[in-house]
């Protein structure tokens, strides 16, 4: 006797279950906001970065949330960097500490003597003649195969 057909469980579609559900999306966004890179956050949740990219292209709300989390994570990573010349140049920080560090480093570079100029003249490369060849310039080419 065959079993009667039953309807599938409501809310669950047919096919493969989701790899990146809403709870994982929230955890991923939390990691990105904390300052992890996109690859590190995906690995922390246990998925591949390509899965996240796929959901970013198909879900506009998730894309907006990820962009907001990326901006917050970038700010969190910059907050961990020390105030020095690097932060002045690459981070655009103009606080007095970064400005002073960049000014003193620039002054020190300008005070250094320039490197000595290379006095060696450029010369033509040395040509080594091949054995069993004439000195004519076209003799370095192999002979063409005879056409029959």
Q: Where are the domains of the chain?
A: 19-80, 82-111
Q: What is the pLDDT of residue 80?
A: 85
Burial of 45 per CB tally in 10 Å (0-12, 13-18, 19+): buried
- Check: pTM over 0.85? Answer yes or no: no
pLDDT digits (tens, 9 = 90+) for 89-123: 988 889 999 999 999 999 999 998 887 776 666 66
**Which residue has tokens 């955890």?**
27
């Amino acid at each position: 006797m065959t079993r009667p057909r039953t309807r599938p469980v409501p809310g669950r579609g047919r096919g493969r279950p989701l790899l990146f559900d809403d709870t994982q999306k929230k955890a991923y966004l939390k990691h990105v906001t904390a300052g992890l890179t996109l690859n590190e956050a995906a690995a922390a949740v246990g998925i591949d970065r390509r899965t996240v990219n796929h959901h970013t292209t198909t879900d506009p709300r998730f894309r907006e949330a990820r962009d907001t989390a990326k901006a917050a994570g970038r700010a969190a990573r910059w907050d961990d960097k020390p105030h020095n010349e690097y932060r002045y140049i690459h981070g655009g920080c103009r606080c007095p500490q970064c400005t002073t560090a960049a000014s003193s480093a620039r002054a020190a570079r300008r005070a250094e003597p320039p490197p000595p100029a290379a006095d060696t003249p450029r010369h033509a490369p040395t040509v080594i003649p091949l054995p069993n060849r004439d000195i004519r310039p076209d003799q370095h080419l192999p002979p063409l195969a005879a056409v029959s």
